[in-house]
Structure 1
């Protein structure tokens, strides 16, 4: 008989209360200090707790809901998106996404395997994580190519390290560079690794940047199915090829985001309902970003090793510089 115990609903409550307390504290402090972003401050507060006292055992279940909270917030964010604006700029952004993902995968595969001598499967996990959607993509591709758990753990630790680094760097860069909200959002959505840090960095700049960062990142996420199919064929895993790999690679929250966006743009929601949805989305993001901070470990560098970190550093520097030029020229 299995000894795995299901988490009871009431066990989520303490961790959720911790998220609410830290998010509330971040909101209060940010409201008292001009120029301080509450979402980034929530990440910072979470990181302080995680790297000092640590996340208490009693809070683990609730804190683990951070991914669900983030995805729910993204679904509701669809109500803020103007479809007409997306139609006008969408083809250009989609083209940038496709080119960036393809170039990023090729770059990481070559640098990791040939320059740093990493195994083919480790190189592929790094390529998927950096090019699509961070840890989620690396985990999905690991199942597709039957990678071992040690390689996946190494890649996950490296991606999380760079999530923390980019979350600190990109908002500062956004203030220094002559970028509009749309330009910064698209740039962050093309360059950063995971959905949470991208969304946080975008909204730290402005609401417009947050919306475009999320949309651009979702476009990248939507390519996971095609990339999984390509890797399945490459590694000859016949059970994962075909339409199944594509469908399994489409995130459910992407479908929800598009559904809510369509409903909002055809006038299904009243102004009061839209305001409530906005408030709900903001609250979910506030909680999710505290959870993101609670997942940051300053000791991650010791876990990652030097070679994977160098590979992602090369990828991040190259892709962010090239996409910045493309965004300034085209968006």
Structure 2
């Protein structure tokens, strides 16, 4: 298909995302303190559940993931490396603890408390502890998980993405957390990258940066966890995961984020250029968050059983409480 054909196929969906983004800014503008990014998610959610996603707009709407990843890459220009170097070792320790401890905790809760077996506990553990649905898919491919297990694990994570997107900003205000504390807390406790960024920016721009950077640090551990699972399940499967297979699932936009951050902090870019990049990043985030809202479907959430929801709920409560206590103590 030529470039003109690709543009024509994606144009209706892109127009829907743009219209939702514009509406979000119009609705948020008159309300002091209301973030357009949060309204963008709400606009997408309402439209997606009341109207649905017609086939004609589906290709363009699917581009919201690319917008999110590109926005994160450009967000690197706004990162002041000196600030993160000060808290870097502490934040990194929190990230490693949240991922390693979270995986083991979720496995134990699923297998011992809720009596789940097979690959489902591992899929839930990866999704809740690393990077949401992306981790579910990555670990699922490594383990050759069944389609049903993947579907229910992904749907469970999406339920909590929707819940935490609303609950965490409210909790952050109630707990009177600083921007850095809230951003790191969201980054180590919530699941998928999009909701983490949205929750962070709902608090403040600084919290959004901390949440995104912390979440990217968690995402970077996906490859290691996938390898660990492949070794643990080696005796049960005849399919050995290849390096190419693991690399295909690695969140490569993380590398772009680090590159842009390095360039910006090297003094190569002017202040005006950094401001322009930040503006483009904000636009991309708004488009992406409209698409994120469109992807949250109430009908699909109703199909998830009680056991997976119970596993992830207990995991979320324990991890978020422990991380909150550590963050208040250390940051």
Common fold, TM-score beyond 0.5?
Answer: yes
1:95 aligned residue = 93
CA contact (8 A) 1:226 1:246 kept: no
Check if 1:72 corresponds to 2:70: yes
Give the structure-1-normalised TM-score: 0.95
Q: 136-145 or 293-302, which moves further after superposition?
A: 293-302
Check if 1:258 corresponds to 2:258: yes
Report the Cα distance in structure 2 between the residues aligned to 1:289 and 1:118, rounded to whole angstroms: 33
- Superposed counterparts of 1:1-331, under 5 Å: 8-236=6-234, 239-240=240-241, 247-331=247-331
Report the Cα distance in structure 1 between the residues aligned to 2:207 and 2:165, rounded to whole angstroms: 14
Report the Cα distance in structure 1 between the residues aligned to 2:205 and 2:105, rounded to whole angstroms: 32
Q: 24-33 or 184-193, which moves further after superposition?
A: 24-33
Give the structure-2-normalised TM-score: 0.95
- Kindly report the root-mean-square deviation, in angstroms, between the aligned alpha carbons of the 2 structures: 1.3
Structure 2 unaligned segments of length 5 or more: list them: none
Report the Cα distance in structure 2 between the residues aligned to 1:39 and 1:283, rounded to whole angstroms: 9
How many residue pairs get matched?
Answer: 324
SS at match of 1:219: helix
CA contact (8 A) 1:30 1:41 kept: yes
Aligned-pair distance for 1:249?
5.0
CA contact (8 A) 1:15 1:63 kept: yes
Report the Cα distance in structure 1 between the residues aligned to 2:281 and 2:308, rounded to whole angstroms: 35
Structure 1 unaligned segments of length 5 or more: list them: 1-6
Report the Cα distance in structure 2 between the residues aligned to 1:223 and 1:212, rounded to whole angstroms: 18
Report the Cα distance in structure 2 between the residues aligned to 1:127 and 1:253, rounded to whole angstroms: 23
Report the Cα distance in structure 2 between the residues aligned to 1:301 and 1:313, rounded to whole angstroms: 14
Shift of the 87–249 alpha-carbon distance from structure 1 to 2, 3 Å rule, reads: farther
Report the Cα distance in structure 1 between the residues aligned to 2:197 and 2:326, rounded to whole angstroms: 20
Report the Cα distance in structure 2 between the residues aligned to 1:77 and 1:36, rounded to whole angstroms: 21
CA contact (8 A) 1:100 1:319 kept: yes
